[in-house]
Amino acid sequence: MGRTPCCDKNGLKKGPWTPEEDQKLIHYIQLHGPGNWRNLPKNAGLQRCGKSCRLRWTNYLRPDIRRGRFSFEEEETIIQLHSVLGNKWSAIAARLPGRTDNEIKNYWNTHIRKRLLRMGIDPVTHRPRLDFLDLSSLFNSTQLNLSSLLGLQALVNPEILKLANSLLISQTENPELLLQKIQENQLLNGQIQNSQGPNISNNQTSMFQYNNQLHHQVPEIPNCTPNVSCSSSHQSMNGQIFQENMMLPLQYYSNYSASDATENSTFQSLNNSSNQNSQNFSFDTPLSSGIEDEKESYCSNFMKFEIPESLDFDDFM
DNA sequence: AAATGTGGCAACCGCCTGCTA
DNA sequence: TTAGCAGGCGGTTGCCACATT
């Protein structure tokens, strides 16, 4: 069965919408409501196809659309939902009030996806990409003492491991439950925001305080990207277990913010946080360096993958 | 100042799904 | 049961603004 075009394209306008066209569409929908997109252009006096009108309305003109940069919480939610739903942009958008699937899709492709790649995280699987990591630097680094590295496992916050584990289980066994948890998390974030005012930096600070603890607990390994921490797992090494152990806990994702403004506010927040407790956090790169460098350094600081204690490095070689 | 490169985003394309007759 | 249709969806394109050379 051949798919017939939604409208006769002859004589219909394409390309960017003019303010006049927008006004016509808004006026018509205000009077008659959305729907019946096939007949809408004719009735509204628009030389557009119905599909174009629907897209223009749902992606741009709808009054409940939230314009502007994505908040930190929104970015975090997108990443969490994408790890469960994949490229189901409409499903993700349904859980982000005021955001359209198109907007989220664009934002993912232009900001989040690239950043995950730069961090060595596969944006499809949400797992670290070994092919992106310069593992040789791990072995060639004269400053990396492998035995002491493996001894770090006791320093990893067990709560992080617990959360990562529950996330992994939820993701693989019960995606719906994970979605529910994410929604609960969103509600909680909203409550925190409401109780603390509209400034998201409060929430960011609380989140980063936790990361700061992590950062404090796991000593830096200079000249080693990514930095490596050890899992408390005592499972024997095999491909599957290793891969699952390599699933990143959510905290690692939350260490960046994709929009420039949010990045700046994030770093301000971090900076303030570190000022309040200077022993709790320190940048590898001085804050006087470029923002981009800060971001890279900042991201790499948190690329702390879990490596099973029994990992045999010969398997890699 | 001009040419070129790059990133972001609105909009389009074509396939899929579900409803209806 | 099946054909036809409208609406929805994800992938892709192309334009424009800004950055860089």
Same domain, A76 and A98: yes
Same domain, A74 and A106: yes
Q: What's the confidence (pLDDT) of residue A134?
A: 45
For residue A243, being part of any structural domain is answered with no
A14 touches strand C (CB under 7 A): no
For residue A288, being part of any structural domain is answered with no
A103 touches strand B (CB under 7 A): yes
Question: Which bases of strand C have any atom within 7 Å of the beta carbon of a protein residue?
Answer: 3-12, 15-16
Asked if residues A189 and A72 have their Cβ atoms less than 8 Å apart, the reply is no
Same domain, A53 and A96: no
A37 touches strand C (CB under 7 A): yes
For residue A143, being part of any structural domain is answered with yes
Q: Which residue has the tokens 């060595």?
A: A120
Gap from A287 CA to B2 C1', Å: 36
For residue A39, being part of any structural domain is answered with yes
Of A94, A110, A126, the residue at which a domain comes to its end is: A126
Nearest-CA residue relative to C1' of B15: A3
What pLDDT tens digit does each residue of chain A (317 aa) get?
A: 323 344 444 568 888 888 888 888 888 888 888 878 888 888 888 888 888 888 888 888 888 888 788 888 888 888 888 888 888 888 888 888 888 888 898 888 888 888 887 778 888 888 776 654 444 444 444 333 433 333 333 333 444 444 444 444 455 556 566 666 666 666 555 554 444 333 333 333 333 333 333 333 333 323 333 333 333 333 333 333 333 334 454 545 544 443 333 333 333 333 333 333 333 323 233 333 333 333 333 333 333 333 333 333 333 33
Q: Which residue has the tokens 């394409």?
A: A14
Q: What's the confidence (pLDDT) of residue A115?
A: 81
Q: What's the confidence (pLDDT) of residue A147?
A: 35
Residue type, A43: N
For residue A246, being part of any structural domain is answered with no
Q: What's the confidence (pLDDT) of residue A182?
A: 60
How many angstroms separate the most distant Cα atoms in chain A? 75
Which nucleotide, over all strands, has the C1' atom closest to the CA of A106?
B9
Nearest-CA residue relative to C1' of C12: A106
Same domain, A117 and A80: yes
A216 touches strand B (CB under 7 A): no
Q: What's the confidence (pLDDT) of residue A295?
A: 38
For residue A191, being part of any structural domain is answered with no
Query: For chain A, how far is it from start to end, CA to CA, in angstroms?
Result: 54
Same domain, A122 and A143: no
For residue A23, being part of any structural domain is answered with yes
A234 touches strand B (CB under 7 A): no
Asked if residues A263 and A257 have their Cβ atoms less than 8 Å apart, the reply is yes
For residue A80, being part of any structural domain is answered with yes
Which nucleotide, over all strands, has the C1' atom closest to the CA of A49?
B12
A89 touches strand B (CB under 7 A): no
What tokens does A210 get? 């936790």
Gap from A50 CA to B19 C1', Å: 19
Which nucleotide, over all strands, has the C1' atom closest to the CA of A40?
C6
For position A96, which CATH number holds? Answer: 1.10.10.60
Nearest-CA residue relative to C1' of C13: A15
Range of the domain at A29: 17-59
Which nucleotide, over all strands, has the C1' atom closest to the CA of A93?
C9
A195 touches strand C (CB under 7 A): no
Same domain, A88 and A107: yes
Name which of A133, A128, A113 is nearest A248 in CA terms.
A128
Count of domains in chain A? 3
